[in-house]
Amino acid sequence: MSKPATGDKSATGKPDIRIQREDFDPAAEIERLTSGRRDIGAVVTFTGLCRDEDGRLAALELEHYPGMAEEEIARIAEEAMARWPLTGLTAIHRHGRIEPGDNIVLVVAASSHRQAAFEAASFVMDFLKTRAPFWKKEHPLDGSSGEWVEARSEDDSSAARWKG
Amino acid sequence: MSKPATGDKSATGKPDIRIQREDFDPAAEIERLTSGRRDIGAVVTFTGLCRDEDGRLAALELEHYPGMAEEEIARIAEEAMARWPLTGLTAIHRHGRIEPGDNIVLVVAASSHRQAAFEAASFVMDFLKTRAPFWKKEHPLDGSSGEWVEARSEDDSSAARWKG
Amino acid sequence: MKLVYFSWIREKLGLAEEEVTPPEHVGTVGELLDWLGSRSEAFEAVLEHDKVIRVAVDRVHVHDRATPIDGAQEIALFPPMTGG
Amino acid sequence: MKLVYFSWIREKLGLAEEEVTPPEHVGTVGELLDWLGSRSEAFEAVLEHDKVIRVAVDRVHVHDRATPIDGAQEIALFPPMTGG
């Protein structure tokens, strides 16, 4: 890779957070965290995609709170870095119009140990769902005016798992 | 993609298992499971890499039991497909000489729901560690004759989590 | 101070942000919401969903309506998040 | 039947596989191991680590030494797995 690798040892400890309209490439993000390193045993990625909800949706519109979105995800990511021995952590969340099958969110967690990588990625996703300031509006395929997606109580319980 | 997509709806339910000497590409494997689909909400990948163990290792040699390796990982993958609502599941395990920083194993789990994808990928890795017939031998950098890696009891406890 | 609104709160108010100067007796998040509700019918309608309204003060979530707003630069009102 | 060996068991025996015909009284996995130990010093040395030796009959893990081997085509002996 020609760009400065986020995976440099010097960069360990600083999560890489991006809020963007453009798509992302999971393989490139894995590469950024692992390139040139020989101490990483496990990389877990989570990719969240837009579903068509049984053919009902033409697209989702993702609204976000600029500034706070980055800051809140950074807070979540730093909690994860403090809680698990990670060598790197990346979170990318898209905004704007997103169609079924397209990517919405990516979390990549790298560690020497597989449980740490799995748990950190899952933790970041659970809190990203309940704390990151993003809101989804549905654009139905039938052209009717869409509704805002309602928050799901399962997401609150998922986040509550990590308490204590 | 030009090759027949494993992600076709018709293929749902059949895990894709590969044992190979060559490297793999996580992004291509995500693409195989998601391409052309609009019902997938979550894809979790686990990539296991060779560590240099604090600079001690030149390489690992991965021995496997041909035939049984594929069959045993397929059994584990089918248990995961039965246990979680997955739209696709891929597991690739390399054998032969693998150097620090190189990939060893990849698991990709796709689902409508993120917990299912996380748990299935973690389940497959836990059982792959304790049940798939692979053995690692260390090749130390100092040229001494290497030792076979000993199984870790933590791996047995990780697998035991899924009981009952 | 600047108020910013998101999602259906923004839509119901027909407003993404506004600059306000609350009177002196408005010292907490809860008092701010009450004062905003007394200012406009649109905001009163939003407050019918009071229980689900989330508040961030200077880009940090606030979970207690008794949180003071003294010195705050930017207060955001939005429904529960649905990202990810 | 075919016996296949892996990892340090293969190395200690200096043998990756062999064809054997156990005597009639050898009916279980445990009896097979005992018989193999009685045949060679190399195998006797392997059996010093008896507790950790894993067995697969026709490519399926066997967790009970009392498992019958009647009709088995291929029996594998190996230490605990360390893949992944």
DSSP string, B25-93: -HHHHHHHHHTT-S---EEEEEEEE---TTTTEEEEEEEE-TTHHHHHHHHHHHHHHHHS-EEEEEEEE
**Residue C10 resides in a domain:** yes
Q: Is the minimum CB–CB distance between C56 and chain A shorter than 8 Å?
A: yes
pLDDT band at B110 (very low <50, low <70, confident <90, very high): very high
**Residue D83 resides in a domain:** no
pLDDT, residue B12, reads 58
CB of A6 within 8 A of CB of A92?
no
Distance between CA atoms of residues D82 and D84, nearest Å = 7
Smallest CA–CA distance from A75 into chain C, residue: C60
pLDDT band at B5 (very low <50, low <70, confident <90, very high): very low
**Residue C12 resides in a domain:** yes
pLDDT, residue B10, reads 37
pLDDT, residue C45, reads 96
**Residue C84 resides in a domain:** no
Distance between CA atoms of residues A48 and B41, nearest Å = 6
- A9-141: CATH, from 1.20.1250.20, 3.40.50.12280, 3.40.50.10490, 3.90.1170.40: 3.90.1170.40
What's the structural domain count of chain C? 1
The fraction of chain B above a pLDDT of 90, given in percent, is 87
**Rounded mean pLDDT of D40-45?**
96
ipTM of the complex: 0.93
**Rounded mean pLDDT of B130-136?**
97
Q: Please name the residues in contact with B66: beta carbons below 8 A apart, sequence gap of 6 or more.
A: B19
Residue D39 structure tokens? 């045949």
- Three-state secondary structure call for residue D9: helix
Location of structure tokens 């052209």: A143
How far is C-alpha A40 from the geometric centre of its chain's CA atoms? 20
Domain segments of chain A as ranges? 9-141
B→D interface, C-beta within 8 Å: 48, 62-65, 67-68, 71-72, 93, 104-105, 125, 128-137, 148-151, 155
DSSP string, C14-43: T-SEEE----TT--BHHHHHHHHHHH-HHH
Phi, psi of B55 (to 5 degrees): 85, 5
D74, pLDDT greater than 80: yes
User: In which domain, by residue range, is D45 found?
Assistant: 2-78
pLDDT band at B41 (very low <50, low <70, confident <90, very high): very high
**Rounded mean pLDDT of A77-94?**
97
Residue B138 structure tokens? 């260390």
Which CATH number do you get for residue C37? 3.10.20.30
User: Would you call B135 and D84 a contact, using CB atoms and an 8 Å cutoff?
Assistant: no
pLDDT, residue B13, reads 63
**Residue D84 resides in a domain:** no
**DSSP 8-state code for residue C11:** H
pLDDT digits (tens, 9 = 90+) for C26-36: 999 999 999 99
